[in-house]
C-alpha cells in the first residue's frame, strides 16, 4: 500500500491511499501535484505494524485530493495507476534500433494515454464494440502505412502496455498517430491478441475503416510506360498468398494489379499483414468480369499471357519458358487460383502460356509451385526482360 505525502505538511495535506505494487522509477501523480517526497519509516510502518487506525478510518471511503481536481470518473486510485509508467523515462531511447526520436515524441508519455485496463467498467464496451464500417489492422508496418497513406480513416491506435512500447518502431507509430489526431491507448497483450484474433500483432493494433478493391474509371491511373505490365489475379483465396503476391508486385515494379471480385479473397487486415503493409500503398483494382476487361485490352493492342505448371499441358496454346519470353509490348500476366488455376474462359484469351522449368525430375503431386512463389519468379523474369541490359 502506498502513502504519498510530505512529512512536513502532514496536517495540511491529507493522505492519499492507492492500491497496487510500487514500481521503481515512476512518479505517481494526484491532480496537478506530484508526490516526490520520501516517507519516513515511522509513517509507513507505525509501531502497531500498519497505518494508524484513525487515518485508515478517515480515508477508507473518501480519499482527499489536491486542488488539481478529480479524474472524470471520480477515481483518484485509477488516476494514480494510470500515470505509473512513463513512456520515455530512459535517456537511451534515442539509440534504440538505431533511430532518433523526435523532440515532439520525447514529450509524449504514457501517462497522457488512458489505460483501458484501468477502467474495467468500460473495457468490454470499448474493445468489444466495433462498427461494421471499421476493422482492426495489426502489425507495425501495416499500422504505420495505414496512418501515413491516408487511404483509411483511422479511429484509435492500441499499443501494448509495458517495456515493449519503448521500441523506436512503436514510438514512430505513436508519433504518426498523435500527429494526425488519432487517439492512442494502452492495452494489455491479451486485449491485442483478441483484437488480432491471435495473430502476430507486434504490440500494436489500429481501428480504422476497411479498404476495398478500386474501380476503374476515367480518373484511374495510366497504363504505365511504353511496355506496361499488369498482373491479373483470378480466384486467389488464401490471404497469405494474396499478401505475398502484392508485396512482390510492388517490389518488382508492376504497373497495376487487377483481381476478380468473385471467388477472391477480400483486402483484409490479414492480407495487409502478409504483404508487410504493401496493401496500404498499392491500389488493387477489382473487376466483375475479367474476360470483358481482357477483351478490351486486346482490342487496344495488349497481349494476354497465361501460366501453366511444369507438367504436360493439353491446350493448343504455345508454351514458352519464362526465361525465353521478352516483354516487348503491353502485357497482361494472368495467375490462376490455388486449386484449379485459370478458368477456361481466361485461357481461351491467352496468346502464350509461360512455364517455370524445374531443376530436377519431379515426383507426381509436386509438379507446381505455390502461386505466390511462382508469381514472384515470373514477374522478375518478365520485368527484367523489358529493362535495358547494363
Q: What one-character DSSP code corresponds to residue 341?
A: B
User: Is the pLDDT at 362 greater than 70, yes or no?
Assistant: yes
- Average pLDDT, stretch 334-357? 91
Q: How do strand 331-335 and strand 303-307 relate by DSSP bridges?
A: parallel
Residue with cell 500483432: 201
User: Is the pLDDT at 66 greater than 70, yes or no?
Assistant: no
Identify the pLDDT of residue 162.
80
Give residue-wise pLDDT tens across range 152-190.
999 999 999 887 667 899 999 999 999 999 999 999 999
The fraction of the chain above a pLDDT of 90, given in percent, is: 50
Q: CA nearest 1: which of 16, 18, 15, 13?
A: 18
Give residue-wise pLDDT tens across range 233-242.
999 999 999 9
User: Is the pLDDT at 10 greater than 90, yes or no?
Assistant: no
Identify the pLDDT of residue 237.
94
Within 8 A by CB and 6+ apart from 384, the residues are: none
Tell me how far the alpha carbon of residue 167 is from its chain's centroid.
16
Identify the pLDDT of residue 317.
85
Identify the pLDDT of residue 312.
53
Q: Largest Cα–Cα distance of the chain, in whole Å? A: 98
Lowest mean pLDDT among 17-26, 138-147, 295-304, 319-328: 17-26
Domains of the chain, earliest start first? 2-82 (no CATH), 91-208 (3.30.1330.30), 229-386 (3.40.1280.10)
The fraction of the chain above a pLDDT of 70, given in percent, is: 61
Give residue-wise pLDDT tens across range 202-224.
999 999 999 999 998 644 555 65
Can you state the angle between helices 168-179 and 140-149, rounded to 10 degrees? 20
Identify the pLDDT of residue 164.
66
Concatenating the DSSP letter of every residue in 226-282 gives: SS-EEEEE-S---HHHHHHHHHHHHHHT-SEEEEESTT-----HHHHHHTTTGGGTS
User: Is the pLDDT at 228 greater than 60, yes or no?
Assistant: yes
pLDDT band for position 257 (cuts 50, 70, 90):
very high
Identify the pLDDT of residue 23.
46
CA 209, 210, 214: angle at the middle one, nearest 5? 125
Amino acid at each position: 500500500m502506498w502513502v504519498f505525502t510530505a512529512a512536513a505538511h502532514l496536517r495540511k495535506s491529507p493522505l492519499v491511499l492507492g492500491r497496487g505494487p510500487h514500481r521503481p522509477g515512476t512518479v505517481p501523480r494526484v491532480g496537478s501535484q506530484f508526490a516526490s517526497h520520501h516517507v519516513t519509516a515511522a509513517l509507513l510502518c507505525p509501531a502497531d505494524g500498519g497505518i494508524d487506525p484513525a487515518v485508515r478510518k478517515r480515508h477508507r471511503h473518501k480519499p482527499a485530493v489536491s486542488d488539481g481536481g478529480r479524474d472524470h470518473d471520480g477515481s483518484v486510485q485509477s488516476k494514480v495507476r494510470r500515470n505509473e509508467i512513463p513512456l520515455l523515462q530512459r535517456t537511451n531511447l534515442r539509440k534504440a534500433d538505431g533511430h532518433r526520436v523526435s523532440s515532439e515524441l520525447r514529450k509524449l508519455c504514457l501517462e497522457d494515454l488512458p489505460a483501458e485496463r484501468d477502467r474495467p467498467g468500460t473495457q468490454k464496451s470499448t474493445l468489444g464494440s466495433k462498427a461494421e464500417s471499421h476493422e482492426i489492422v495489426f502489425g507495425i508496418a501495416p499500422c504505420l502505412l495505414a496512418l501515413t497513406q491516408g487511404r483509411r480513416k483511422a479511429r484509435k491506435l492500441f499499443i501494448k502496455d509495458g517495456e515493449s512500447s519503448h521500441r523506436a518502431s512503436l514510438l514512430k507509430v505513436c508519433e504518426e498517430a498523435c500527429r494526425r489526431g488519432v487517439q492512442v491507448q494502452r492495452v494489455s497483450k491479451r486485449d491485442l491478441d483478441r483484437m488480432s484474433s491471435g495473430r502476430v500483432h507486434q504490440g500494436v493494433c489500429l481501428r480504422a475503416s476497411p479498404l476495398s478493391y478500386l474501380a476503374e474509371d476515367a480518373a484511374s491511373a495510366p497504363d504505365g510506360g511504353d511496355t506496361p505490365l499488369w498482373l491479373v489475379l483470378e480466384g486467389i483465396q488464401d490471404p497469405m498468398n494474396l499478401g505475398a503476391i502484392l508485396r512482390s508486385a510492388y517490389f518488382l515494379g508492376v504497373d497495376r494489379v487487377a483481381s476478380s471480385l468473385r471467388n477472391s479473397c477480400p483486402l483484409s487486415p490479414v492480407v495487409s499483414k502478409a504483404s508487410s503493409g504493401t496493401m496500404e500503398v498499392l491500389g488493387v483494382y477489382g473487376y466483375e468480369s475479367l474476360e470483358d476487361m481482357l477483351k478490351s485490352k486486346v482490342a487496344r493492342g495488349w497481349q494476354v499471357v497465361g501460366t501453366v505448371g511444369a507438367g504436360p499441358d493439353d491446350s493448343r496454346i504455345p508454351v514458352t519458358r519464362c526465361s525465353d519470353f521478352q516483354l516487348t509490348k503491353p502485357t497482361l500476366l494472368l495467375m490462376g487460383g490455388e486449386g484449379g488455376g485459370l478458368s477456361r474462359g481466361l485461357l481461351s484469351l491467352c496468346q502464350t502460356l509461360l512455364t517455370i522449368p524445374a531443376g530436377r525430375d519431379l515426383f507426381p503431386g509436386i509438379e507446381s509451385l505455390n502461386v505466390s512463389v511462382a508469381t514472384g519468379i515470373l514477374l522478375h523474369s518478365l520485368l527484367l526482360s523489358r529493362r535495358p541490359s547494363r
